[in-house]
Amino acid sequence: MIKKFDKKDEESGSGSNPFQHLEKSAVLQEARIFNETPINPRRCLHILTKIIYLLNQGEHFGTTEATEAFFAMTRLFQSNDQTLRRMCYLTIKEMANISEDVIIVTSSLTKDMTGKEDVYRGPAIRALCRITDTTMLQAIERYMKQAIVDKVPSVSSSALVSSLHMVKMSYDVVKRWVNEAQEAASSDNIMVQYHALGLLYHLRKNDRLAVTKMLNKFTKSGLKSPFAYCMLIRIASKLLDETEGGHDSPLFDFIESCLRNKNEMVVYEAASAIVHMPNCTARELAPAVSVLQLFCSSPKAALRYAAVRTLNKVAMKHPSAVTACNLDLENLITDSNRSIATLAITTLLKTGSESSVDRLMKQISSFVSEISDEFKVVVVQAISALCQKYPRKHSVMMNFLSNMLRDDGGFDYKRAIVDCIISIIEENPESKETGLAHLCEFIEDCEHTVLATKILHLLGKEGPRTPQPSKYIRFIFNRVVLESEAVRAAAVSALAKFGAQNDDLLPSVLVLMQRCMMDSDDEVRDRATFYMNVLQQKQKALNAAYIFNGLSVSIPGLEKSLHQYTLDPSEKPFDMKSVPLATTPITEQKTEIAPIATSKLPEKLAPSRQDIYQEQLAAIPEFQGLGPLFKSSDPVQLTEAETEYVVRCIKHTFARHMVFQFDCTNTLNDQLLQKVLVQMEPSESYEVIHYIPAPSLPYSQPGSCYTLVRLPDDDPTAVSCTFSCTMKYLVRDCDPNTGEPDDDGYDDEYVLEDLEVTVADHIQKVLKPNFGAAWEEVGDENEKEETFALASVRTLDEAVGNIISFLGMQPCERSDKVPENKNSHVLFLAGVFRGGHDVLVRARLALADGVTMQVTVRSSEETVVDVILASVG
């Protein structure tokens, strides 16, 4: 088997790489011997190996040279040398996307695929499918069907896997092979079974009934292949998740039974599936946890890793379920694989008692520098969770975090630490000053602009409210002197907030601002000038509007509106109220630390959901002239999940109108629906003015129809309404396989569930980072107050949740979080009412045998106040 390619290599001694100094042009030159007769298989083989090696190294081949080599290679099909032929298949696959006219080898490959040599057949099928398109696939369809059910496993597997690759491109052709795949699934060969199951699932995954049947069949008959078992477990848990079936279903029983499979791969897959199921009870988790516990002492590192990683997940939600494994986890702390050790410690941090925290933290700091950034992020996440659990430990944690912050590390790691410190500050007011001090120290030497600006923003928000705001000024102003433009601009904004809130600091802040006005960057100068002028007015309302609670409009929306305004100049000044509001206000919730798996995703500003709707609706002529889209609701389901037609509705609110968008899906493959519309009967004086039907609704392709409704002008307080909805359409029966419809159809209708419009549909959430300032800004001109008794509500948490979802307003100052063991709470809500009127709500809640609520509403418009109070009552 040991052989030499070239005399030259032989002499160069051991350790040399015979491919090291390959020149593409020289190799292509050599490829000319492909044309010599008789063919020298060994030399040709060597040259093909070189070509593939070059491709593998990432060498770029031009179309012409690749095509030339490819065509020369086709001649090698004349040789009967097995290895050479196999290398030809590989070359075909590697060059399929580089060379032109690769289909020239179709007939040679078809011949090999159906020939007698079993060694050729499988690889020939795979190479053939690589160069085949949909039309050619139909030509070889017969052979593919035969190959799928071939008794030689490598042929059958190759055909099944190639079919799976082809599904993306030629679904309609491949789906005709279901019967063959079905037959292959009962093969004795474990790989064929696995591949057949995978293909069958892929072809049927949109048909839940067929998937259920398939699962029933295979879970009963039992399979030989551990791979196929893993696939079945995944399909079963997916189905369980979709149907939201209880865990008493046979599917769950099947997954649980796999915990007793004799193959570790299957056992682990089953345990992992159970752990990842939402709403698992501790009792259901127990058997999965105990197999994972066994795996913790496996000699195989991969198995220990898999087990402890999964236990770590369990510990996030059900720490008590994992306490039984504490001893096994303790043993893993010293594992030579640092990933395993880290996961073990972070799991213990979640399950262990408060007393063990210090010891574990010490252990982890002994090797934190040895682990990869990914796992450092895991450690930070664990600390973050720990701080929520044991708030008293925050000083230990804060110390540890600040040490980590000083160490080297990538952006994701540093961001995780900063996020964690910020969340600790927000959870524990007493840790605020130490936390801010650590962050101040960090920005003194921070290479990540994003983090520096984030921290400056936080300093601006929190600093002025601390007992000694003056000590932060130095850190902030240092940034103005030393950093890049973006950081300098953020520092200026932070300074302004100190000036706005602390009267005694104002004169010094103004001096610093003056200096910032000489900055070399115009953004920094602009900000400084702007803040300078606002601050000099010394008016609370101005400070609130322009310094604390910036703009709440959607940025892409503002851009579009301004562009529109410049295209069509008018005497009227630009109206800010015509700009759509930002739909996803910067959440004041605790920042979720991104899971490690997604940390690679690039961060970019995607247009929000509402911007997309705005675009879609604007394209419909009937909806022009409605003005900017004010709010789009979340989808409301108007049908049960498993019915013939699935309809959901999105409510779009405009200044004087509403558009109801019905997203309909037809789940009957023997029907084509046409002229689909949803007829609406309002209960109040709402007026339906226009229906826009969906022209055609083929099987499983969603379509939308719209209904335009005018809101009652005469009674602005009529904000809620119930619509009874009926879907009307023309049915044309059709052939389930081809989708070819009959010539004529008949009218039919389908009753949907009622649709409610509530006060929340008229209010857009807006975050006021400084609620107190906003409250003063609106003033008490239109203030009204009323007291209500919420008899049916038992806890403050429940009351807060109900109010927020009922009014659809944004909770501010983290007031949606009710501190534990308290009998009273104040909830602050902010929003904008349809038409652009700010509205603020302060709800004082008291718990005593039911909840008593005193609601105070302020708004720039009196009717809005009335609407809110009327709807609460």
Partner 1 sequence: IEEPSLYTVKAVLILDNDGDRLYAKYYDDTYPTVKEQKAFEKNIFNKTHRTDSEIALLEGLTVVYKSNIDLFFYVIGSSHENELMLMAVLNCLFDSLSQMLRKNVERRALLENMEGLFLAVDEIVDGGVILESDPQQVVHRVALRGDDVPLTEQTVTQVLQSAKEQIKWSLLR
Q: Which of positions 354-413 make contact with partner 1 (CB under 8 A)?
A: 372, 374-375
Among 24, 40, 53, 786, which residue sits at the site for partner 1 (rule: CB under 8 A)?
53
Site residues (CB under 8 A) for partner 1, limited to 126-145: 126
Given the DSSP bridges, would you call strands 703-710 and 746-751 parallel, antiparallel or unpaired?
unpaired
Residues 402, 380: Cα–Cα separation, whole Å: 11
Report in angstroms how near the CB of residue 745 gets to partner 1 at its nearest: 35
- Segment contacting partner 1 by CB under 8 A, of 104-112, 157-165, 641-649, 750-758: 157-165
- Look at residues 99, 108, 36 and name the one whose alpha carbon lies nearest to residue 71: 99
Are the CB atoms for 769 and 552 separated by under 8 Å? no
Q: Does 4 help bind partner 1 (rule: CB under 8 A)?
A: yes
Q: Give yes or no for residue 429 binding partner 1 (CB under 8 A).
A: no
Strand (E) or helix (H) holding 790: strand 784-790
Question: Least distance from C-beta 643 to partner 1, angstroms?
Answer: 23
Measured from the CB atom, the residue of 39 and 799 that comes closer to partner 1 is: 39
Q: How far is the CB of 174 from partner 1 (least distance, A)?
A: 14
Return the number of the residue (60 or 656) whose C-beta is nearest partner 1: 60
Q: Distance between CA 636 and CA 642 in Å, rounded?
A: 15
> Residue 658 is encoded by which pair of tokens?
């509403």
In whole angstroms, give the CA distance from residue 628 to residue 804.
25
Q: Which is nearer to partner 1, 57 or 334 (CB)?
A: 57
Cβ distance 581 to 554 under 8 Å? yes
Residue carrying the six token digits 């921070």:
446
Tell me: does residue 162 bind partner 1 (CB under 8 A).
yes
Given the complex with partner 1, which of 214 and 322 has the nearer CB atom? 214
Measured from the CB of residue 39, what is the shortest distance to partner 1 in angstroms?
Answer: 16
Q: Are 72 and 47 in contact (CB under 8 A)?
A: no
SS3 501: helix
536 binding partner 1? (CB under 8 A): no
Q: Does 157 bind partner 1 (CB under 8 A)?
A: yes
- 162 vs 493, beta carbon nearer partner 1: 162
Q: How far is the CB of 3 from partner 1 (least distance, A)?
A: 6
Structural Rg of the chain based on CA atoms: 34
- In whole angstroms, give the CA distance from residue 826 to residue 330: 45
Pick between residue 123 and residue 499 the one whose CB is nearest to partner 1.
123
- Which of residues 269, 328, 777, 838 is near partner 1 by CB under 8 A? 269
Residues 566 to 625 in contact with partner 1, rule: CB under 8 A: 596-600
- The stretch near partner 1 (CB under 8 A) out of 87-95, 553-561, 790-798, 812-820 is 87-95
Query: What 8-state DSSP symbol labels residue 465?
Result: G
Least Å from the CB of residue 375 to partner 1: 7
Nearer to partner 1 among residue 198 and residue 556 (C-beta): 198
- Contact criterion met (CB below 8 Å) for 835 and 861: yes
Stretch binding partner 1 (CB under 8 A), from 154-162, 170-178, 749-757, 826-834: 154-162
State the Cα–Cα distance between residues 755 and 688, nearest whole angstrom: 14
Nearer to partner 1, 313 or 844 (CB): 313
* The only residue of 29, 82, 281, 320 in contact with partner 1, by rule CB under 8 A: 82
For residue 251, how many other CB atoms are within 10 A of its CB?
23
Q: Are 773 and 831 in contact (CB under 8 A)?
A: no
- Stretch near partner 1 under the rule CB under 8 A, chosen from 15-23, 508-516, 568-576, 688-696: 15-23
Which residues between 484 and 503 bind partner 1 (CB under 8 A)? Answer: none
DSSP one-letter code for 741: B
Question: Three-state DSSP class for 105?
Answer: helix
186 binds partner 1 (CB under 8 A): no
Total residues contacting partner 1 by CB under 8 A comes to: 79
Residues 93-112, interacting with partner 1 (CB under 8 A): 93
Question: What token pair was written down for 554?
Answer: 């959607």
Q: Look at the alpha carbons of 168, 169, 172, 176 in this order and tell me if their dihedral is positive or negative.
A: negative
Exactly one of 164, 524, 774, 841 binds partner 1 (CB under 8 A); which one?
164
Q: At its nearest, how many Å lie between partner 1 and the CB of residue 251?
A: 13
Tell me how many degrees the CA angle 282-287-293 measures, rounded to the nearest 5: 105
Shorter beta-carbon distance to partner 1: residue 37 or 336: 336
Interface with partner 1 by CB under 8 A: which range of 122-130, 534-542, 639-647, 830-838? 122-130
- Does position 10 interact with partner 1 (CB under 8 A)? The reply is yes
- 801-804 own/partner pairs: CB under 8 Å, 24+ apart: 803/827, 803/829, 803/843, 803/853, 804/829
Shorter beta-carbon distance to partner 1: residue 93 or 454 = 93
**Toward partner 1, which CB reaches closer, 132 or 639?**
132
Cβ at position 16, least distance to partner 1 in Å: 8
Chain centre distance of CA 695: 32
Q: What are phi and psi of 128, to 5 degrees?
A: -60, -45
**Amino acid sitting at position 837:** H
Residue among 120 and 400 whose Cβ is closer to partner 1: 120
Q: Choose the binding region for partner 1 from 106-114, 261-269, 758-766, 817-825 (rule: CB under 8 A).
A: 261-269
CA atoms of 810 and 832, how far apart (whole Å): 10
Where in 287-346 is the site for partner 1 (CB under 8 A)? 300-303, 305-306, 336-339
Only one of the segments 159-167, 423-431, 786-794, 810-818 lies at the binding site for partner 1 (rule: CB under 8 A); that segment is 159-167
Nearer to partner 1, 337 or 478 (CB): 337
Cβ atoms of 487 and 449 within 8 Å: the answer is: yes
Using the rule CB under 8 A, give the single segment among 82-90, 451-459, 514-522, 549-557 that binds partner 1. Answer: 82-90
Residues 333 and 363: their CA atoms lie apart, in Å, by 8
Q: How far apart are CA 66 and CA 74, in angstroms?
A: 12
To partner 1, the closest distance from the beta carbon of 117 in angstroms equals 10
How many residues can be counted in the chain? Answer: 873
SS (H, E, C) 553-568: ECHHHHHHHHHHHHHC
d(CA 809, CA 858): 13
Least Å distance, CB 346 to partner 1, is 13
Pick the closer one to partner 1 by CB: 12 or 63: 12
Residues 673-692 that bind partner 1 (CB under 8 A): none
Q: How far is the CB of 454 from partner 1 (least distance, A)?
A: 22
Span from 88-96, 357-365, 694-702, 782-790 in contact with partner 1 (CB under 8 A): 88-96
Strand locations in 654-745, DSSP E?
657-666, 671-682, 687-692, 694-697, 703-710, 721-733
Candidate list 88, 128, 145, 198; residue touching partner 1; CB under 8 A = 198
Distances (CA, A) of 487 to 175, 307, 438, 445, 517: 57, 44, 18, 12, 15
Query: Nearer to partner 1 by C-beta: 347 or 782?
Result: 347
> Positive or negative, the Cα torsion across 633, 639, 642, 647?
negative
Q: Which of 36, 188, 241, 354 binds partner 1 (CB under 8 A)?
A: 241
Residue pair 595/821 in contact by the 8 Å Cβ criterion: no
Name the phi and psi angles at 842, rounded to 5.
-120, 120
Q: 87 or 420: whose CB is closer to partner 1? A: 87
Can you tell me which of 31, 34, 44, 49 binds partner 1, judged by CB under 8 A? 49
296/505 with CB nearer partner 1:
296
Please provide the distance, in angstroms rounded to a whole number, between the alpha carbons at the two ends of the chain: 89
Please report the DSSP string for 440-451 in residue order.
HHHHHT---HHH
